[in-house]
Amino acid sequence: MNLIEKGATVLVADDDPMFCVLLKQFFEANGYSVVTASDGAQAVEACREFSPALLMLDGDMPEMDGFAACEVIRSLPGGDTLPIFIVTALEGQAALDCAMAVEASDFVSKPVNWPQLRNKLSCVMEFSLG
């Protein structure tokens, strides 16, 4: 997988507006452009419209959750290679199993451990760990 360069678009989908703001600030502070969505259906449409380089999907959203959105996005042209992180307050092995079943790239628990998230993302993005 190639590193995602600064300035690339990140799609953040979460029904919690405050969490969307936090993730948006996190990515913008590191040089990325951010598009937000409040549910999975909007995330799928935003993915088609903006061709993001990375997706952060909440596992538990109304209309279409992040797991279902991930599955749909994986079937889109180019969707099979997109880094997709499921970010959720859902706990336990069942949530992790669901993320892996829809071929999510990784799983992040809420509340987010920001240094840990930075480390996970540094594998696919140009994050400075200093």
Residue 34 structural domain: 9-121
List all residues 6 or more positions away from 8 whose beta carbon is below 8 Å from its beta carbon: 32, 33, 52, 53, 54, 125
Domain membership flag for residue 83:
yes
Average pLDDT on 70-89 reads: 93
Domain membership flag for residue 98:
yes
pLDDT computed for residue 24 by the predictor: 96
Q: Based on the structure, what is the number of domains in the chain?
A: 1
Domain membership flag for residue 77:
yes
Domain membership flag for residue 72:
yes
- Return the amino acid letter for 10: V
What is the rounded distance in angstroms from the CA atom of residue 103 to the CA atom of residue 68?
11
- DSSP secondary structure, 7-72, as one string: T-EEEEE-S-HHHHHHHHHHHHHTT-EEEEESSHHHHHHHHHHH--SEEEEESS-SSS-HHHHHHH
Domain membership flag for residue 130:
no
CATH number of the domain enclosing 108: 3.40.50.2300
Domain membership flag for residue 93:
yes
Domain membership flag for residue 29:
yes
Global pTM?
A: 0.90
pLDDT in tens, 21-64: 999 999 999 899 999 999 999 999 999 999 999 999 999 998 89
